[in-house]
Amino acid sequence: MVSTAPLKPEKTSANNVRILTLNCWGLMLVSRKRKERIRAIAKRLEECRDYDIIALQEIWVESDYELLKHSVQGYLPFAKRWYSGILTGPGLAVFSRWPIASAWIYRFPLNGRPSAFWRGDWYVGKAAGSCVIVHPSGRRLEVINAHLHAPYAPTGDAAYECHRAAQAWDLSGIVRRSAKGGHTTFVTGDLNTRPQSVGLKLLQYSHLSDAWIDSHGYREYSVNEIANFTPEEQICFAGVTSDSQLNTWRANYAINRAKRLDYIFYDPETATPLSSRVAFIEPEPNVGSLSDHFAFEAEFTLTEDSKNPNFEPHIPNTLNLSPKVRHCNHFPDIPKLAPMPLMQSVESLTYPQESPSAAHGNRQHTPPVDLNTGAPMGPLSPNQLSNPVLQPAMNASTYSYNDEEGLRRLHDEILEIIEDYKSTCSSQSFWRLAHFWASATVVIGLLVAVWWGAAKNRSYVGFIFMIVSLIIAITGVLNGLIGFLFGRGECRALKEFEEQVYLSLLNLGSLY
């Protein structure tokens, strides 16, 4: 449902856009303390009036959506929730300060299996929801809120790597079409994908940049490097949003499980990041962390648009790569950070707290501080910027779409993932159909046994055989339907994905 309102709240800076993304962990009967957490999220969003656009994932309960919508209606009067899905819909919602001109949804063809009912990805219908928002400058902002298939294991069948690669492929195509339509494009959400993975490379090759890397100037850390950080360092330097030990719902997880899964990507030709940070880290008293993910926020300034002669962009200080902080996003009290691995020459950074008395809407940003001395820090020096550990993001987070060799390697990597999954796809269909035919044979045999039991005046034997045959018949029919309908459909979707990759490989220069 799209909500509209006559109100058009004013902004402090007409050229800036502030975006927040949060996976709310809103599974009914499954997510712990869902109602209490959603109320806490609503309260936090109502108090934090800094955002122009909020993108939420895992909002699967209608009453939760209505509560959140009501909490932000005073400054984000325009809202869109998507409903397409078998059970509850994809759980995606967007709230906007400015009018939503149009909205649509794309459901990913490859999206888990119905047999994995305890995971639920197939039943909710993971998707990408798009909102075209009319900015006061006249620019049309296309915000694509996406939630990709979750990994349930590091490797193997349960990792669903091929499904996420296919979803990222479709998402990159949506991004390219959006850019060709003249929109300023943002892709945000829980992408369930680690940095440097195939899915993120696809987005970066599709004219998009990573707001976290570009606004901080750090290179992307490897999994092993992040595992050697403290939980505080993982957030401050690696942008970790999931499975952090600072999250009360994940406090017992091994430190090497922490990862960055929540992103905001943007079109560097039409927007420039001013800041980005992990948000909503502090737990709510008597509740715990607001979600099993932390939020992620970024602020952008819209750059010059040659199609709009009346647009007057703000030019930021490109050397000031330090994150800005608002009063509604305090970092929790933490001990001083230990010296950073691989960053011995770089002063430790943390997010300072802004005065709680700062009025809503009056954002007075404070520079980062040195945790060792407590002194304010200015922009990174040229020596720091030349440090290979702190390479600016314009050299790190965006791959050139003219890099034919890099694109070719990426396509080869995708094709290898597809080839690895083919055997899983065909075997899943084969064994489910085999189960169907075996079940049919067993049911016939049990029905004969029922007749034999009745002939021998053993009615209880017939009753037992009837119950067993009923159970076998139901499971056999279900597996037969999954194998014949879904299995064939998944194999065809996989073939379509492969054909698209091959076609793209033959036309690298024209597609990217």
Q: Would you name the residues annotated as active-site residues?
A: 293
How distant, in Å, are the alpha carbons of 27, 57, 124, 125, 201 from that of 149?
15, 12, 11, 9, 17
Separation of CA 122 from chain center: 17
Length of the chain: 512
Strand pairing class (349-350; 369-370): antiparallel
Backbone angles phi, psi at 146, to 5 degrees: -125, 150
Report d(CA 160, CA 55) in Å as an integer: 24
288, two tokens: 């715990």
Indicate the SS3 state at residue 24: strand
3-state secondary structure of 318: coil
d(CA 242, CA 192): 9
Q: Give the whole-angstrom CA distance, residue 61 versus residue 124.
A: 12
Establish how many alpha carbons lie within 13 A of residue 323's alpha carbon, considering only the half-sphere containing its beta carbon. 27
For tokens 């691995």, the residue is: 341
- 264 and 21 Cβ atoms separated by less than 8 Å: yes
What does the alpha-carbon distance between residue 98 and residue 366 come to, in Å, rounded to a whole number? 28
Spatial distance between the Cα atoms of 408 and 248, rounded to a whole number of angstroms = 43
Which residues are CB-neighbours of 339 under 8 A, at least 6 positions away? 348
> Which among 85, 97, 93, 91 has a CA at the least distance from the CA of 31?
91
How far CA 398 is from CA of 13, 209, 392, 394, in Å, comes to 27, 5, 11, 7
Q: Compute the half-sphere exposure of residue 238: CA atoms within 13 Å on the CB side of its CA.
A: 32
Task: Calculate the CA 187 to chain-centre distance.
Answer: 9
